[in-house]
Structure 1
């Protein structure tokens, strides 16, 4: 990002962390306040020491405490992207909100829509939701879904809620279930995969693979239906949220997710395309947890999208004709 030569001579901003914001990571705190600034530049500001917490340097993962004073250096911000003038995108997105209360909303995210703008994406879910709910001071993603994955996306409406949701995710106390179609005849039964994962991040691309030096990852695979030697319909419950976790674990087991261009099998993907699959067959089906501050149970599920259901019907018909 090209910054004006006199930018560093402008006045820095100082913000005091209140109880509502306490517990948020420094990088997420800055990203929410520096709208339009590339993520890479925000991290450079932190690592170069231009961002200060209580007059000292702090790591991007530092969790802010009530009373902390944060120095935000002067940065040129691009205007936030706007939805189409006719508001059709907002109307369409509003229809996909499957739950909303005082703490959060849940979006049934369609495949092909990024959760946030950036990296060539002009407008993501979170930017559109902020336009849809302009009266909310805080609207933040509690987690992320790959652009090609559909299903439950949790969005916090308050920082205190975001903090609690992140606590649940860190401690593995949020149950997230996915539905996926994988290649081949699944022979493992119900199994827990605990292979550590390491992500290699390059400009415009992230690749994740099993690596003994990687971060812990837990994925529980359970077969629902098998279609001969062609494919298997699975439910996957994850206990961690590593980047591309399900896709990397499935590929490691030699049962790649259907339609996965990065970790999948091209011959299998081509066969699935002949059955009408035009996206990756991975759907965030359900989320359940207990709020830490009240012990109140929360659960939500969204059905498999119709286009994926039609692929299963085609597979079932083909398998039946071969019996």
Structure 2
């Protein structure tokens, strides 16, 4: 309240206004996710973007190179079924010569999508950023069997036509804090902070086993290409530099250990792969299993035990004010 400017009886502070906006948005999210959008079988279309390196190649060769986890025979079958079209609707067969920058739509026949968790909470919202507490399992964006049962799709329904832009990502099975930008400009400013290493991201993770030291790290390089089930692996020859620092928070009598993980880089599945490679797989992980094995499932069912990996703390500089924004969530039940 400012004397002589605003009414002391009807004045609403900025935090109160934000709380009311958040309450409205969360009510909308609950409404549109009951039932889930993907609970009705609907045809979906997803773009394939042709990079410069694939210019003037046949479509089938491009698909095999871009998505090596999918067998060549499967791509041939989809091409022969006419499931690739231009934005104008013209069918693009397996021998279609693509051009750099071309966008081709892949058609997915109507099917019911798997269930996901919908306990989406908005932690902070202003004119530049939206900070979300993402539940798990819930994919960030369309992938695999998920088209509409994704965080991005649900947020688009609530915030459209000005769709939020993800500044970074969390795995479908990982819960916790993730930040979205309200515009492309703010997204670039925030992503630059991730690139420069000025963002502080800390995770809670429970592992199978008891590491020898209370503080340790991994710099095992992680492969650029995905393998079986979309997983990655440690690759000493052709991979990306990665670093994760770990601190022991608690050693349990059941043989598991609660850790805090601090990311130095942001590679796909980084924390899970580093711990798996050291012999301490994350509890509940369906993909990176004990003994160096790879599982046959990526995204968990909401009704079974969760992946014990949670984006706990997140801090960065606000893209407008420059103020350091610090966020922290309550630990999940498996971390208490």
Corresponding residue of 2:135: 110
> Which residue is equivalent to 2:46?
37
Q: Name which of 215, 225, 239 aligns with 1:190.
A: 215
Corresponding residue of 1:295: 322
C-alpha distance 298-49 of structure 1, shift in aligned 2 (>3 A) = farther
For residues 119-154 of structure 1, the C-alpha deviation after alignment (integer angstroms, 9 at most, x for no partner) is 110221011101011242x42111111111100111
Match of 1:9 in 2: none
Secondary structure of residue in 1 paired with 2:154: helix
Residue aligned with 1:256, SS = coil
Partners of 2:216 and 2:142 in 1: CA distance:
36
Distance 2:275 2:228 in 1: 24
Shift of 1:286: 1.0
- Write out aligned runs for 1:257-272 (5 A): 257-265=282-290
TM-superposed deviation, 1:264: 2.5
Q: Which ranges of structure 2 fall in alignment gaps of 5 or more residues?
A: 1-43, 58-65, 67-99, 292-302
Distance 1:205 1:74 in 2: 22
Q: Which residue of 308, 315, 318 corresponds with 1:281?
A: 308
2:157 corresponds to: 131
How do residues 121-160 of structure 1 correspond to structure 2 at under 5 angstroms?
121-123=146-148, 124-136=150-162, 138-160=163-185
| Contact map agreement 1:176 1:288 (CA 8 A) in 2 | yes
For 1:102 and 1:130, how far apart are their aligned partners in 2? 16
C-alpha distance in structure 2 between counterparts of 1:114 and 1:302, whole Å: 19
User: 1:64-120 CA deviation, whole Å, 9 max, x = no partner?
Assistant: xxxxxxx975755879x9xx9xxxx99x66x51111111111111111110012311
Secondary structure of 1:167's counterpart equals helix
Deviations 1:215-268 (A, max 9, x none): 1111110000001461100000101100111011111221111111221228xx
Is the Cα–Cα contact under 8 Å of residues 279 and 290 in structure 2 kept in the other structure? Answer: no
Q: Does 1:243 align with 2:268?
A: yes
- Deviation of 1:210 after TM superposition, in Å, equals 4.7
Query: Aligned partners of 1:75, 1:98: CA distance in 2, in Å?
Result: 37
Equivalent position SS for 2:232: strand
233-242 or 203-212: bigger deviation: 203-212
Q: Which residue of 2 aligns with 1:161?
A: 186
Unaligned runs of 5+ in 1: 1-34, 51-59, 61-70, 267-275, 313-323
More divergent stretch after superposition (199-208 vs 293-302): 199-208
The correspondence for 1:175, drawn from 200, 206, 209, is 200
User: Which string of whole-angstrom CA distances, capped at 9 and with x for unpartnered residues, describes residues 189-209 of structure 1?
Assistant: 212322222244247522222
**In 1: Cα distance, 2:103 partner to 2:311 partner:** 39
Q: CA deviation at 1:158?
A: 1.0
The residue aligned with 1:28 is none
